[in-house]
Structure 1
Amino acid sequence: MKWMVKEVAELVGISVRTLHHYDKIGLLTPDEMTESGYRLYSAENLDTLQQILFFKELDFPLKEIKEMISSPSFDRQEALKLQRHMLLQRRERIDRLIATIDKTTKFEKGEKQMSNKEKFDGFDFSHNSYKEEARRKWGDEIVDQSTAAIENKSTSEQHEMGEKMTAIYKKLAMLKDTSPESVEAQVGINEWYDFLNQHTGHHYSLDAFKGLGQLYVDDERFMQNIDQFGNGLATFMRDAMKIYAEKSK
């Protein structure tokens, strides 16, 4: 099922103008567009919108929201868990502030004693640890560069980029049961290295490329995404990337 922009606006309670703005800045682009130019939103688009609004409710700027949900390592379930912690933390602080207002009201009526310290109970200007965790997990300079590089491409270029990436994964998946040091494996990994440097907006040094390969195995989400092309592909790519980086120095 697909929803038009007006239907989404009414469902969520936000303006059509807001949805147009999200589309314009690349934060939420509808999956389809009719021949008449009408936006059509999918169920997946609605899930993404929910994530955007949760982060927005928690005072994340749109730029940060965009880079986090665009991160290859972004995990919706993990984000929901983090957002819940942040909302509980906010509720606790609001409850304390309401209690401080009630105490202050009684104090000014002469009904209750109140220390100067109690007058400021609930105010908290320290950094939000959960917000910092979210930025650390999904927001970084490489993601900014990669997202910008992709958005600067036309729709056809983005489609071509996706096809190239999939083709490389499939080619490497066919080699995953061979030695990562073989000529064929190293040619395939060289193709992957060139692809990343040409299309992601970030130039990977050999050391960074080696580190990226290790991340494919250390981060379960990366491993799952890569291993969908073949069980064990992430480990094979890590080993092949390490060999490539060390031999290319």
Structure 2
Amino acid sequence: MPDTPGSDGLTVGQVSARLGVTVRALHHWDEIGLARPSLRTAAGYRLYTAGDLERLHRVVVYRETGLGLDGIRAVLDDPTVDVPGALRAQRAQVAERIDRLQRLGAGLDRMIDAHERGLLLTAEQQVAVFGPRWNPDWPARARRRYGDTTQWLQYAERSASRGPGEWRAVADAVTGLDRALGDAMDAGVAPGSPEANRLVERHREVFASYFPLTRRMQVCLGRMYEADPEFAAHYDGVRTGLATWFRRIVDASARAHGIDPDTATWQ
């Protein structure tokens, strides 16, 4: 069979190779009447003429613009169709998709940065939001320590959508909670009391700004706040002994929910 369509025409396989279109697509276009071969051999094989090949080329061109098959049929066969208008409408849809993909790409970049950095704030922004005692090295240290955990992934997902304003709201909520804890300890609020339990629940709600916190995980945090020098210094900076008092109210609340603080694990 020659490689140029003459009186004998081209087979489906030859047209597929020439135009870069699958045989399956050619068969489908034949079945729906969009681009049918004009000839058949005595054995029933389809053969495409030069005119058929020209129509197929136009189908491929319009398909590359994103037009659907019905739109292509109208452009090729309906003399009343405003072809430039149809192409302009398709161009507008392409522009919308490009804009959507660009926004998606920007979102993915932020998500990648959040997974790798934790906070998407400069060192100056971090200090402005969290106060002069904040150490901008803490997010990197946290990633090295917790970067392979589910909680770090949850934290990064939240961080990716936050700017300085959103983080300031989180910081204000934490500061308000610290103040309420200190005031309650000064007032002699007893572990296990309704007021203490409300503060434990408030802590879990505030902490959800970072990642969901179960009661068992909260018990583990209470231990860490008391044992870790940096956390203990923070809470004792609010009120002397606050880290230990906070651990006690968390433990009491956990017992009320059937959890043994001595055996609780991070789950």
What interval of TM-score do these two structures reach, taking the shorter chain for normalisation?
Answer: 0.3 to 0.5
TM-score by structure 1 length?
0.46
Higher relative contact order (CA 8 A, sep 6+): 1
Q: Which has the larger radius of gyration?
A: 2
Task: Please give the TM-score of this superposition, normalised by the length of structure 2.
Answer: 0.43
